[in-house]
Amino acid sequence: MKKFYLSIFAASALIAANIDFEHANGNFERVNPEFGKDSVVLSYHSSINEAKKSVVNISTSRTIKSKGFSDGFPDIFNDPFFQEFFGKSFGFPDSRSEKQRKASSLGSGVIISSDGYIVTNNHVIEDADEIIVTMLDDTKEYEAKIIGNDPTTDLAIIKIEGKNLKPIKIADSDKLLEGDIVFAIGNPFGVGGTITQGIISALNKNNIGLNKYENFIQTDASINPGNSGGALVDSRGALIGINSAILSRSGGNNGVGFAIPSNMVKDVTSALIKDGKIERGYIGVLIADLTKEQKEIYKNQEGALVSSVEKDKPAEAAGLKIGDLIIQADDKEIKSANDFKNYIGSKKPGTTVKVRYERGGDIKTANVKLEALEAISITARDITESQISGLVVENLTSDIRKELNLDEDINGVLVSEVKRDSDAEDYGFIKNDLIIQVDQKEIKSVDEFQKALKSSKGKKLVWVMRDKIPLGIVVK
């Protein structure tokens, strides 16, 4: 049985701020091409050529640091005799020096406003130190800045300083049909502007495992590395999705590509442009699709089945119980668990959602007021900024132990975040390190860790467990 855990949260469907989307004509007809005329050449050049002016190349670079731990390890680990027995890849880093290297990558983006707002995938610009944008048909370079990003939908907004840019026209992705002709426009493999053709293979694809919020358009139009963040357009050249990923064993295109629907793109980018972030709500239920056997019990054959309700959370306060089958949220018909997750994911904390559900053969309604995820997360996980600048830590909980596959007899403090360009990063800490000891003091809680750091001046040896290997980090 497929399950989704709804710490349900997501992009607020806000009115666009500082941007007026160019909308494609919503009143259109689908036609079949005429064949058999020797004076007719079927071509989409004119419509695709306009859309191509709105697609850009994105080049990013970032600095990668590799930090060693020589002060934390005896010299024996670098001794040739030791390595003869255990191998040079035993797992202990060579810490004689800190190394830096530049990593670069290529992607694509789509202009959505004449003054330079560009939508792309979050993974295209994530952790970038520098973002350079060029048009597909021009070599002029623009330096871009990040306006906001949302890893859960893999969308991001960047901006360049430009005038009279060509924003793409955006179609209503709810009107798409399987079999519609589509074109993918982007910069695959860094070869420059490229257009590939296909059809819509499927709609509303989820459970792919790419993002937290998934409602993908599936297409067989070739989407290759570098196409990420580019445009998927219909035969008019109107944007129907942002190309995001492919499923491939070899890394090449196998005709199974995925794009984020334009309506989701509009909702997320509007919020990012207005606030620079996505505010997410929380309902507190575990939901699943109906199994074949469960459908025999319910009058409705589609919906989101509630299989767990968290105590003292919005769903419980609204009266929802295990076994309720949610069939509608406000005016949105709910046909699956993913439908409900994505709908709640479009609402801000504090929003009240009217839910219709089946219980015992009767149809009931409940008003659920969403809470803020951030406040719940911090309270539940007890995240603390440590005395080491940039090092964020938290106590181990049973949920964290399960997530990291840690035995109950393992104690320590989890590193939940290492901020960029901080002392913690320079020392060599990384996310999910488990701090187990400071000098000779074993660590079992955040309080013990903080006290151990205060207890003595000068250098301290902080022992962490990383991939089940103990590492000693010298902290000044």
Q: DSSP code of 188?
A: G
* The residue count for the chain: 476
447 phi/psi in degrees, rounded to 5 = -60, -45
Three-state secondary-structure class, residue 157: strand
Whether 69 and 472 have beta carbons less than 8 Å apart is answered as yes
| Look-up of token digits 């560009």 | 118
Whether 62 and 128 have beta carbons less than 8 Å apart is answered as yes
Whether 340 and 287 have beta carbons less than 8 Å apart is answered as yes
Sequence-ordered list of residues with C-beta below 8 angstroms from that of 226, at least 6 positions apart, any chain:
106, 107, 108, 186, 187, 188, 189, 190, 191
Structure tokens at 175: 């009107």
Please report, for residues 239, 242, 305, the alpha-carbon distance to residue 124 in angstroms, rounded to integers and kept in the order given: 19, 12, 36
Whether 57 and 136 have beta carbons less than 8 Å apart is answered as yes
Structure tokens at 338: 């993913």
**CA dihedral (293, 294, 297, 299) positive or negative:** negative
The C-alpha atoms of residue 348 and residue 350 are separated, in whole angstroms, by 6
| Look-up of token digits 């919005």 | 314
Q: How many Cα neighbours within 13 Å face the side chain of 205?
A: 23
Residues with catalytic function: 123, 154, 228
The C-alpha atoms of residue 40 and residue 18 are separated, in whole angstroms, by 44
CA-wise closest residue to 214 among 189, 244, 235, 255: 244
